[in-house]
């Protein structure tokens, strides 16, 4: 499995090959922050966690996202520093 994440001024997109794709626009996002989510029962796609749906391949850090409609999901990463920088830059641009 491969998890590919793209973060830009338009939004957040993930491809979890070969299983799924997901995209959200920043206008839909209420909150986004890099967190240490601990152990969620293994790797892959984990449903019904306290973070909503978790997409991860290894590690215990990721981008926790809460949407304005109340739905949540988390994108795992081994490059949390880069992810946090990308989110901080986007916040400057889009004001989220």
Listing DSSP states for 20-54 in one string gives: EEEEEEGGGEEEEEEEE----SSSEEEEEETTEEE
Q: What domain count does the chain have?
A: 1
Q: Residues 6 or more apart from 24 whose CB is under 8 A from it? A: 11, 12, 65, 67
Q: Distance between CA 86 and CA 49 in Å, rounded? A: 25
Q: Residue 4, Cβ neighbours under 10 Å: how many?
A: 10
Question: Which structural domain, as residue segments, surrounds residue 83?
Answer: 27-94
Domain assignment of residue 22, yes or no: no
Domain assignment of residue 48, yes or no: yes
Query: What pLDDT, on a 0 to 100 scale, did the predictor assign at position 31?
Result: 93
In this model, does residue 6 exceed pLDDT 80?
yes
Q: Given pLDDT bands bounded at 50, 70 and 90, which one contains residue 85? A: very high
Determine whether 27 is exposed, middle or buried from the number of CB atoms within 10 Å of its CB (0-12, 13-18, 19+): exposed
User: Tens digit of pLDDT for each residue in 33-79?
Assistant: 999 998 887 788 999 899 999 999 888 999 999 999 999 999 999 89
**Three-state secondary-structure class, residue 78:** coil
- Report pTM: 0.88
Domain assignment of residue 15, yes or no: no
Q: Given pLDDT bands bounded at 50, 70 and 90, which one contains residue 95? A: low
Domain assignment of residue 1, yes or no: no
**Backbone dihedral region for residue 55 (phi beyond 0: left; psi -120 to 50: alpha; all else: beta):** beta
Domain assignment of residue 61, yes or no: yes
Tell me the average pLDDT of the chain.
Answer: 91
């Amino acid at each position: 499995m491969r998890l590919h994440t793209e973060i830009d001024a338009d939004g957040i997109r993930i491809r979890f090959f070969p299983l799924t794709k997901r995209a959200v626009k920043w206008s839909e996002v209420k909150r986004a922050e890099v967190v240490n989510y601990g152990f969620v029962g293994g790797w892959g796609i984990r449903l019904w966690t306290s973070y909503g749906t978790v997409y991860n391949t290894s590690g215990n850090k990721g981008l926790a996202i809460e949407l304005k409609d109340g739905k949540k999901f988390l994108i795992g990463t081994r490059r949390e520093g880069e992810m946090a920088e990308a989110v901080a830059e986007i916040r400057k641009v889009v004001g989220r």
